[in-house]
Amino acid sequence: MNAKEFFTIEQIELIKHAITKAEEHNTGEIRLHVEGDCDGDVIERAVKVFHRLHMHKTDHRNAVLFYLAVNHKKLAVVGDEGIHKKVSDEFWHKVKEHIIEKFKQGNYTEGLCEGIAMAGDMLKKYFPNKGANHNQLPDDISFGKN
């Protein structure tokens, strides 16, 4: 399946809204990247995409990437060093498992939106917005070639 065809226009808008809302009261940045295939290790691939999207260049190093390879049914949640120092690996695992449970029910959009909200809550806890919050990265979903 082509990654761009996985979500409907309405679902894409719901996810973008979830990202905007999750970033509303903190200085963090959240992105979703969707590809068709991921032949290798999903974390390694997610880290490569994280850097390709320049997510490591945020002011507080507190960006979070949700990476999804739809054909290979792989998911990763990767936080930059600023947020990763504040939360445990257990938190990232909890977010991923929550999303996977929703995916098993066929609720892909809901799962991602809820996972994004969970990340946003942690960003708000550790990186609250203390004034003008400028969006350093686009809230649009990025798509891979396949």
Instruction: Report the C-alpha gap between 6 and 73 in whole angstroms.
Output: 12
Catalogue all structural domains in the chain, each as residue range(s) with its CATH number: 7-128+136-141 (3.10.310.50)
Instruction: Report the C-alpha gap between 112 and 107 in whole angstroms.
Output: 9
Contact 15, 112 (CB under 8 A): yes
| pTM as predicted | 0.94
16-58 pLDDT per residue, tens: 999 999 998 899 999 999 999 999 999 999 999 999 999 998 8
Instruction: Report the C-alpha gap between 144 and 139 in whole angstroms.
Output: 16
